[in-house]
Amino acid sequence: MQKRTLGNGLDVSALSLGLMGYGKARDIPDRPEMIALIRAAIERGMDFFDTAEVYGPWTNEEMLAEALGPLRERVKIATKFGWNIDQTTGAHLGGVNSRPEQIRRAVDGSLKRLGTDYIDLLYQHRVDPDVPMEDVAGVVKDLITQGKVRHFGLSEAGAVSIRRAHAVQPVTALQSEYSLWTREPERDVLPVLEELGIGLVCFSPLGKGFLTGKIDTTTSFGATDIRGQIPRFAEAARQANQGLVDLLRAVAARHEATPAQIALAWLGAQKPWIVPLFGTRKLERFEENIGALGVALTPADLDEIRATAENIHVIGDRYPEAMMKLSGR
């Protein structure tokens, strides 16, 4: 699999597998199948896996540890701290918490659950408005000195927060939502990342499934599917945003590819330091997505996508209002 370099020397596969969808509850009923999928991903060259203490909490990290076993040294693990989780019981107490003592406890817990001596990339999951970014970066700097962490990352942070953190401890990567239908980072964030030499790991590169072309106005979402609460997935919004899918289908037809592959290839063509982070529970979808690395978009393709997308006004917020307040941007 192709490689890319994030920030100050973190070499990873050009696509990353996000495990959030493999289980955020205390019980993961299809745990054996998800472990098998992680191992299959490694066999196919994937070496960059994303988890977080809050997924469960804790069960997701434990599952990744079981999946990796003796393969740990072949992969890069990214995990996250920053939520108000009781480090004894695992209870999510609500809200964010990046106080220094909480960070240290969270990292020690993640190391134990992951069965490893170090974390390759440690993200602050969300900016904590009550803790100066300099303090957060200072704690992570200490953890790097101690050998517990190798690289520092931020998630959903804005340009000001990125600069403040980077001044204390170089930031290797920002994780943020970026895709053809979420292009806000292009205004303020991407220029800062390029200036400072920071990589971008973009989650929801397929628009939570919308850009695959498998969702339309007739699609219904289950009671536990968060997309049913997202304004961008309201029926009227789906109809208005369909133009992006039509665009991807047109380009895909020329390349004998799928809309998902074109959406991922477009992201990879934006900057050499961008790594799309996707999630899937099915091996066939995993193989489809990594097939995007074999799609070479031409300058004419990229010009067409840019010109057409600029004339499509995406309707609907990407999260419910309460979640938007935690985006950090």
Reported confidence tier of residue 25, pLDDT bands at 50, 70, 90? low
What is the per-residue pLDDT for 23?
Answer: 65
Tally of residues, the chain? 329
Q: Where are the domains of the chain?
A: 3-207+266-292
Reported confidence tier of residue 24, pLDDT bands at 50, 70, 90? low
Residue 306 burial (CB count, 10 A): 11
Q: Using one digit for the tens of pLDDT, what is the confidence trace for 218-271? A: 999 998 888 999 999 999 999 999 999 999 999 999 999 999 999 999 999 999
Per-residue burial over 315-328, b if 16 or more Cβ lie within 10 Å, else e, is ebebbeeeeeeebb
pTM of the model: 0.96
Reported confidence tier of residue 327, pLDDT bands at 50, 70, 90? low
Do the Cβ atoms of 124 and 166 come closer than 8 Å? Answer: no
* CATH fold for domain 3-207+266-292: TIM Barrel (3.20.20)
What tokens appear for 44 in the block? Answer: 């196919």
Q: Is 293 exposed, middle or buried (0-12, 13-18, 19+ CB in 10 A)?
A: middle
DSSP string, 72-92: GGGSEEEEEE-EEE-TTT--E
Residue 26 has pLDDT above 90, yes or no: no
Is-catalytic flag, 123? Answer: no
Mean of the pLDDT values across residues 184-207? 97
Q: Using one digit for the tens of pLDDT, what is the confidence trace for 33-57? A: 999 999 999 999 999 999 999 999 9
Identify the bridge partners of residue 203 per DSSP, sorted by sequence position: 177, 277
Q: What is the DSSP letter of 145?
A: H
If you search the block for the tokens 């799928």, which residue do you land on? 258
Mean of the pLDDT values across residues 54-61? 93
What is the per-residue pLDDT for 119?
Answer: 98
